[in-house]
């Protein structure tokens, strides 16, 4: 009985949380000119035209942009996993010179707004001839520029008992082996956290992808979605909503299946 009440409350709250999304789904099923004139949540007819139009309205079928986003996301996830875990290992386990200072510098690097560093970054990438490739969006991840995740993993690593790697050292293991054989498997959940957050945030990132990908062939989903709207002329709102929903599906699925690792995740690192 108690749990029925809880379910009802959760469902009610869930509906409040989801109302804007439901409105978006409903709008994606309405003809373009009715979206703003007809505020009702239930569309008069279930019409999938916006989806077929949206899918094919741009220069390429929408799969093209999904694929571009997938490439960027895959590169970013892989890069963050490798580079951030390496840096985190150093910060969590190695007593090297100037560690505190470097740690503070790392934290500082996430405190400056992107808008003032984008121009110098653009200069750099254009000198490297990387503009209009996915490299500016992927290579930095392999160079551990997402300090957020280093910080996150440092905290995870510190939770793994030191006795484990000290024992391994006595057995003659070097740092590389300790990192690869002990830390990585034990922090699998931490890696899952990093992977999922990187996936979601990269999938949604707009500004970097807008600036570094200039050719419409290279557009990723967030940039491609913008080409449905034009504040100076007419916009295809129906197609925008339809394709926004399409682009939500992959992240939603990733979260749905990934959340059990996230939650299991941090808990299992606390080996006593």
Partner 1 sequence: MSALQELSGLRREPDRGRRGRQARHGRQSRSAAQKGDNRAAAFFLAPWFIGLFVITAGPLVASLYLSFTDYNLLQDPNWTGWENYARMLTDERLLNSLGVTFSYVLISVPLQLAAALLLAIVLDRGLRALAIYRSVFYLPSLLGGSVAIAILWRQVFGTNGLVNAFLGIFGVEGQGWVSHPDYALGTLMVLNVWTFGAPMVIFLAGLRQIPETYYEAAAIDGASRARRFRSITLPLLTPIIFFNLVLQLIGAFQSFTQAFVVSGGTGGPADSTMFYTLYLYQRGFGAFDMGYASAMAWLLLVIIAGMTAVNFLASKYWVFYGD
Partner 2 sequence: MRNIGHSARTGRGRRAAAVVGAGLVLALAACGQGEDPAAEPGDDGGTSADGGDVTIRFAWWGNEDRAAITNEAVDVFEAANPGITVETEYVDFNAYFDRLATTVAAGDAPDVITMGGAYPREYGDRGALLDLGEVSEFLDTSTLDAGALSNGFFSDTQYGVPTGANTYGVVINPAIFEAAGVDLPDQDSWTWEDFADLAAEISANTPDGTYGAADPTSAEVLDLYLNHRSGHGLYLEDGSLNATPDLVADWFTYGSGLMESGATPPATITSELTTQTSPEQSLLGQGLAAMSFGWSNNLGAFRDASGQELILMRVPGDTGENGSAMWQQASQLYTINAQTAHPEAAARLVDFLVNSTEAADLIGTDRGVPSNETIRAHLSEQGLEPTTQVEFDFLSQVSEFIDGDFVIGPTGSTESAGILTRLNQEVLFGQTTPEDAGAAFVTEVTAAIS
Judged by beta carbon distances under 5 to 8 A according to partner kind, the member of partner 1, partner 2, none in contact with residue 211 is: partner 2
Site string for partner 1, 12-31 (x = CB under 8 A): --x--xxxxx-xx--x----
Question: 247 or 269: whose CB is closer to partner 2?
Answer: 247
For residue 83, the minimal CB distance to partner 2 (Å) is 17
Q: Is 26 in the site for partner 2 (CB under 8 A)?
A: no
Q: Is 91 in the site for partner 2 (CB under 8 A)?
A: no
Question: 66 or 144: whose CB is closer to partner 1?
Answer: 144
CA dist 235 and 209 (Å) reads: 22
Q: Which of 36, 40, 107, 259 binds partner 2 (CB under 8 A)?
A: 36
Judged by beta carbon distances under 5 to 8 A according to partner kind, the member of partner 2, partner 1, none in contact with residue 244 is: partner 1
For residue 34, the minimal CB distance to partner 1 (Å) is 14
| SS3 assignment, position 113 | coil
Site string for partner 1, 74-113 (x = CB under 8 A): --------xx--xx-xx---xxxx-x--x--xxxxxxxxx
In the range 33-52, which residues lie near partner 1 by CB under 8 A?
39
Q: What is the 3-state secondary structure (H, E, C) of 69-89?
A: HHHHHHHHHHHHHHHHHHHHH
- Looking at residue 106, the DSSP 8-state letter turns out to be H
Residue 200: φ, ψ to 5°:
-65, -45
Q: Is 20 in the site for partner 2 (CB under 8 A)?
A: no
| SS3 assignment, position 172 | coil
Q: Which residues contact 98 (CB under 8 A, 6 or more apart)?
A: none
Tokens of 43: 């569309």
- Looking at residue 134, the DSSP 8-state letter turns out to be S
Residue for token digits 């082996």? 177
Judged by beta carbon distances under 5 to 8 A according to partner kind, the member of partner 1, partner 2, none in contact with residue 134 is: none
Query: Number of residues in contact with partner 1, rule: CB under 8 A?
Result: 91
Q: Is 24 in the site for partner 2 (CB under 8 A)?
A: no
| CA 270 to each of CA 154, 258, 267: distance values in angstroms, whole numbers, following the listed order | 14, 20, 6
Q: Is 181 in the site for partner 1 (CB under 8 A)?
A: no
* Sign (positive or negative) of CA dihedral 255, 259, 260, 264: positive
């Amino acid at each position: 009985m108690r749990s029925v009440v809880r379910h009802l409350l959760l469902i009610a709250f869930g509906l409040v949380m989801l109302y804007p999304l439901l409105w978006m789904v409903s709008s994606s099923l309405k003809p373009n000119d009715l979206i703003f004139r007809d505020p009702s949540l239930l569309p008069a007819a279930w019409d999938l035209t916006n989806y077929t139009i949206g899918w094919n309205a741009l220069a390429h079928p929408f799969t093209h942009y999904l694929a571009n986003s997938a490439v960027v996301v895959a590169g970013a996830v892989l890069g963050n996993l490798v580079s951030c875990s390496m840096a985190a290992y150093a910060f969590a386990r190695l007593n090297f010179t100037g560690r505190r200072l470097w740690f503070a510098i790392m934290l500082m690097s996430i405190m400056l707004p992107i808008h003032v560093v984008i121009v110098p970054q653009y200069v750099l990438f254009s000198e490297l001839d990387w503009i209009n490739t996915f490299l500016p969006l992927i290579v930095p991840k392999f160079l551990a520029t997402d300090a957020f995740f280093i910080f996150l993993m440092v905290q995870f690593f510190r939770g793994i008992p030191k006795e484990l790697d000290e024992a391994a050292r006595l057995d003659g293991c070097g740092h590389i082996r300790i990192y690869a054989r002990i830390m990585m498997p034990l922090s699998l959940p931490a890696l899952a956290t990093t992977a999922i957050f990187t996936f979601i945030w990269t999938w949604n990132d707009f500004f970097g992808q807008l600036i570094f990908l200039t050719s419409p062939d290279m557009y990723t989903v967030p940039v491609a979605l913008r080409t449905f709207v034009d504040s100076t002329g007419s916009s295809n709102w129906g197609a925008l909503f339809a394709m926004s929903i399409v682009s939500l599906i992959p992240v939603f699925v990733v979260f749905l299946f990934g959340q059990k690792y996230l939650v299991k995740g941090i808990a299992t690192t606390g080996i006593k």
